[in-house]
Amino acid sequence: MAEAEPSFKDPIWYAIVEELAALGAAVHICSRNQTEINDRVREWESKGFKVNNAGISTIKGAIEYTEEDYSTIMKTNVEAPYNLSQLAHSLLKESGAGNIVFISPVARVIALPKLSNYTASKGTPIVCHFLKYILSITNYYNIHHLSQDYPHAKDLIKLIVRTPLGRLAEPNEISSVVAFLCLPAASYITGQVICLDGGCTLSFKDPRWSLKGVTALVTGGTKGIGYAIVEELAALGAAVHICSRNQTEISERVQEWESKGFKVSGSVCDLTSRAQREELIQTVSSVFHGKLNILVNNAGTVTLKEATGYTEEDYSTIMNTNVEAPYNLSQLAHPLLKESGAGNIVFISSVAGVIALPKLSSYAASKGAINQITKNLACEWAKDNIRVNTVAPWGVKTNILPADVAHAEDFIKLLARTPLGRIAEPNEISSVVAFLCLPAASYITGQVICVDGGYTVTGF
């Protein structure tokens, strides 16, 4: 048996405080050990922000857990953070933009050996009730709550072998994600469970938070979400190539971005044409000298109809644009991504690929396919040091959402079910895409992240 008690000697706790403080937050810490607090406060200085991170684990077979074990684990891992959140609610509400981040393990998502009670404590759901007060409640998972001898156990070694990236996370690969969720850039993420192990001491001079020297291809980059993604990546230092079917739009956008000091180039491509996709990758290879770090498969199309109203042409167009094109483009880009030594693919999907939405059956099928492709490519290409993730937005203020749809009865009903009570701004999607492409997100792969204002998790 081994227990990990709350301590600011714990590298995860320490990294989280450093990460938030480096971003300019005032941080308040708590511990049962006054000496440790004094030591750390002298080191960090007195600050004033709060993160729920206290927890213990007891490693035993299920039949070996005693009543005392169960009570201690549940009180520490469930009752304490839940009650603390209740007590802090009025302060968070008063701030006008509160954030709660819970630290939880992958044991909540999959079964891990000798952690049944711990898993139960971390699997207890936290409801969305506070969300109407602009709180961002987000669960996170890591595998760092382990005793010192556990990383050498046979059970864990077997689990690591099954992990596509083939290693445990560093504490600094966790704290970066906690910090990101507390930033205004994550303003439309709430209620999400993101499987990862991620983050280190934060400074904007930290190379983990820069894309300087990185190359990127963004499809459909002249407007909407794609435009915001290009701005985000370029502002972080990336050299970006865009494609569109409209040369005039490309020229206008490139000129606009060059005036801002961004490195952006572009070329015409109809992504529904396999020959033009091949030509696009040849162009990208030439522009970026045979290497590509980032591929953002953003371009897509949508047709709103009842299932019985979709024609063969509708179905073919949607599947060709939303599935075949990004899948084939990923195949074509694979050698360039592999050659870069640190490749990233981000697909733009939709919550329609996660849950049922009206008049979107064919579109939903295409996005569901992309969500599964993400998982397969993440596992298959991890050996090539290529990470693959998907961002699945809910409604976004772009021209892909016609004005008549935005005011339609069905849409208004769906919006009413969204805990944050609004659709997203494009830059609330692009910020997540950019984060996934940063070195700070180096242990996130195969994930479908719903950036949906809490829509997919609410039961209210």
> What residues have CB less than 8 Å from 70, skipping those under 6 apart?
117
Are 436 and 209 contacting, i.e. CB atoms less than 8 angstroms apart?
A: no
Q: Can you tell me the distance from the alpha carbon of 405 to that of 11, in angstroms, rounded to the nearest whole number? A: 49
Q: Is residue 90 part of a domain?
A: yes
Q: Which of 195, 221, 245 is the last residue before a domain boundary?
A: 195
What's the pLDDT score for residue 189?
82
Could you list the beta-strand ranges (E) of 298-367. 343-348
> From the candidates 65, 188, 363, 443, which is the catalytic residue?
363
Return the SS3 of 332.
helix
Q: Which stretches of the chain score pLDDT less than 70?
A: 1-11, 13, 41-42, 44-67, 69-70, 72-73, 77, 104-163, 193-206, 399-408, 460
Residues 243 and 271 in one domain: yes
pLDDT in tens, 227-283: 999 999 999 999 999 999 999 999 999 999 999 999 999 999 999 999 999 999 999
Report the 10 Å Cβ neighbour count for 111: 9
CA–CA dist 207, 439 (Å, integer): 8
Q: Is 418 among the domain residues?
A: yes
Range of the domain at 301: 210-451
Predicted confidence (pLDDT) per residue in 394-413, tens digit: 888 876 555 555 456 777 77
Instruction: Tell me: do 268 and 384 sit in the same domain.
Output: yes
HSE (CB half, 13 Å, CA atoms) of 348? 29
Which residues contact residue 98 at a Cβ distance below 8 angstroms, ignoring those fewer than 6 apart? 91, 92, 133, 134, 135, 136
- pLDDT in the model for residue 403: 54
Same domain? For 83 and 174 the reply is yes
Question: Do 188 and 228 belong together in one domain?
Answer: no
Kindly state whether residues 83 and 131 are assigned to the same domain. yes
Joined tokens for residue 302? 């949508």
Query: Within this chain, do residues 82 and 28 fall inside the same structural domain, yes or no?
Result: yes
Query: What is the reported pLDDT for 160?
Result: 61
Helix (H), strand (E) at residue 104: strand 98-105
Say how many Å lie between the first and final Cα of the chain, rounded: 40
Give residue 373's Cα distance to chain centre.
Answer: 17
HSE (CB half, 13 Å, CA atoms) of 386? 28
| φ/ψ (deg, to 5) at 388 | -135, 125
Helix (H) or strand (E) holding 367: helix 361-381
User: Based on C-alpha coordinates, what's the Rg of the chain?
Assistant: 23
* Domain presence at residue 203: no
User: What pTM does this model have?
Assistant: 0.67
Active-site annotation holds for 363: yes
Closest CA to 358 of 416, 411, 423, 422: 411
Report the domain count for the chain: 2
